[in-house]
């Protein structure tokens, strides 16, 4: 059972909180590139880690990410005019460039002389894998963006969406690493994989996996072992990337999902769901699967809200649940939402009320790793993972191995293929 005070450390992410400080030591995806599609396009309001920002793309195509409120009279800059390489506040005309410099102060006679003292805070950004990444931490500690393969693959190798979820980031992240729920939540009554996926059938035949958890330089390697006949074991190995993401197990030579969970605030979070094949473009069948509404949910046009959501009971089909599907809910991510958005009253789960078993070893390991990192930072010890960006170049795997082959022997050629290819 988790102590309530530890739960508070895990779930609170605002400025000055232990977990908020930890997240701020890493590059984080905060937007899709498509949200800022062209130079001088409409500015976008952004909330992340309990703070308000405004994002814009200037005349030269550069991304600016600024504190939301003008340094003059605190008007919100989202109403600003995006023009001539800067964002101009519509209240009194003060203009800021992508680095936060006040480049024009037209409403005061001495504006040209004093504008250099009126700068606002700007945050570094990078465009990677269809996402805009930002760094909110101390400038002198800014690390490299992790060298994960899904961040380096061409657009043709990837399908990505963004979903805004009602609930604390942690309960969604816990669902991503929990392999035992696959046997139930994402199953059909005939024990066959969901349509459009290539999950090995053993995940639905052996419903009680045995866990092996291995600490790594990037987070955790989480292996779920299941029986696969008299001579073999099935291994589903997720890679958890501290602090924000899980690479979900998939058979060799198939795309794999990376779920990235970024706190908007304590009670809301954003999810980037990225389906990537590092070595080749998605083929026609895979592209069709991405559009079929199972691996990726149908979205309300112009929003980051799933069509099936809490307001309509996730469009659960009780007849389908009785005859075919374990849940009666169509899309895999929506099945996850249904059970993680409401883990008790309110948007934040009270983990002190849980009764855990050996099936929760991976969950416990992830919580401990996050807690240890946050508490270490409280004591002045920086997270080593932030400075070890090369370690993130790993893969998940879903494989069947002979029982006399150890997990490390059998899966290493697959899980480290990207690192080997890079000569590391």
Contact present, 333 and 273 (Cβ < 8 Å): yes
pLDDT at 110: 96
pLDDT at 234: 93
Q: Which two tokens stand for residue 50?
A: 């309990």
| Successive 10-residue mean pLDDT values, the chain, 424 residues | 92 98 98 98 98 98 98 97 98 98 97 96 97 98 95 96 97 93 90 72 90 96 94 94 96 93 98 96 95 95 97 97 95 96 89 93 97 98 96 94 83 64 41
Helix (H, G, I), strand (E, B) or coil at 312: helix
Q: Report the C-alpha gap between 50 and 42 in whole angstroms.
A: 23
Superfamily of domain 149-421: Naphthalene 1,2-dioxygenase Alpha Subunit; Chain A, domain 1 (3.90.380.10)
Q: Report the C-alpha gap between 416 and 393 in whole angstroms.
A: 7
Question: Which class does domain 28-134 fall in?
Answer: mainly beta
| Domain spans, the chain | 28-134, 149-421
Of residues 46, 22, 400, the one with CA closest to residue 232 = 400
pLDDT at 200: 76
pLDDT at 193: 74
Whether 28-134 shares its CATH topology with 149-421 is answered no
Of residues 208, 230, 199, 253, the one with CA closest to residue 402 = 230
Contact present, 49 and 14 (Cβ < 8 Å): yes
Supply the DSSP string of 180-202, one letter for each residue.
GGGGTTT-BTT-PPPTT----TH
Cα 75 to chain centroid distance, Å, stands at 31
pLDDT at 423: 38
pLDDT at 252: 86
């Amino acid at each position: 059972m988790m102590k309530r005070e530890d739960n508070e450390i895990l779930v609170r992410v605002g400025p000055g909180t232990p977990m908020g400080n930890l997240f701020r030591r890493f590059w984080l995806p905060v937007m899709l590139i498509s949200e800022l599609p062209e130079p001088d396009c409409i500015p976008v309001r952004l909330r992340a880690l309990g703070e308000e920002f405004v994002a814009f793309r200037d005349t030269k195509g550069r991304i600016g990410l600024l504190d939301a409120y003008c340094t003059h009279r605190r008007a919100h800059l989202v109403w600003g005019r995006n023009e001539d390489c800067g964002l101009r506040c519509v209240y009194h005309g003060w203009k800021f460039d992508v680095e936060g410099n006040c480049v024009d102060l037209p409403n005061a006679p001495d504006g040209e002389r004093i504008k250099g003292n009126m700068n606002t805070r700007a945050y570094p950004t990078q465009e990677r894998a269809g996402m805009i990444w930002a760094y909110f931490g101390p400038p002198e500690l800014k690390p490299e963006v992790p060298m994960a393969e899904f961040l380096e693959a061409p657009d043709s190798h990837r399908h990505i969406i963004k979903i805004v979820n009602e609930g604390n980031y942690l309960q969604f992240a816990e669902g991503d690493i929990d392999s035992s729920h696959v046997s139930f939540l994402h199953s059909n009554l005939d024990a066959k994989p969901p349509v459009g996926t290539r999950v090995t059938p053993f995940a639905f035949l052996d419903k009680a996996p045995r866990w092996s958890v291995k600490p790594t330089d990037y987070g955790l390697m989480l292996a779920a072992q299941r029986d696969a006949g008299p001579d073999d074991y099935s291994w589903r190995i997720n890679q958890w990337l501290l602090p924000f993401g899980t690479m979900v197990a998939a058979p060799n030579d198939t795309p794999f999902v990376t779920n990235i969970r970024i706190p908007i605030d304590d009670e809301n979070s954003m999810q980037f769901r990225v389906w990537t094949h590092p070595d080749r473009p998605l083929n026609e069948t895979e592209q069709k699967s991405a559009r079929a509404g199972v691996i990726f949910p149908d979205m309300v046009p112009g929003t980051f809200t799933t069509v099936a959501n809490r307001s309509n009971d996730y469009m659960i089909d009780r007849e389908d649940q009785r005859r075919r599907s374990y849940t009666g809910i169509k899309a895999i991510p929506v099945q996850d939402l249904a059970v993680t958005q409401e883990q008790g009253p309110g948007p934040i789960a009270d983990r002190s009320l849980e009764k855990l078993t050996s099936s929760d070893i991976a969950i416990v390991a992830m919580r401990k790793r996050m807690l240890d990192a946050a508490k270490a930072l409280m004591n002045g010890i920086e997270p080593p993972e932030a400075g070890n960006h090369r370690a993130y170049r790993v893969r998940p795997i879903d494989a069947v191995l002979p029982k006399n082959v150890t997990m490390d022997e059998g899966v290493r050629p697959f899980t480290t293929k990207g690192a080997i290819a890079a000569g590391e």
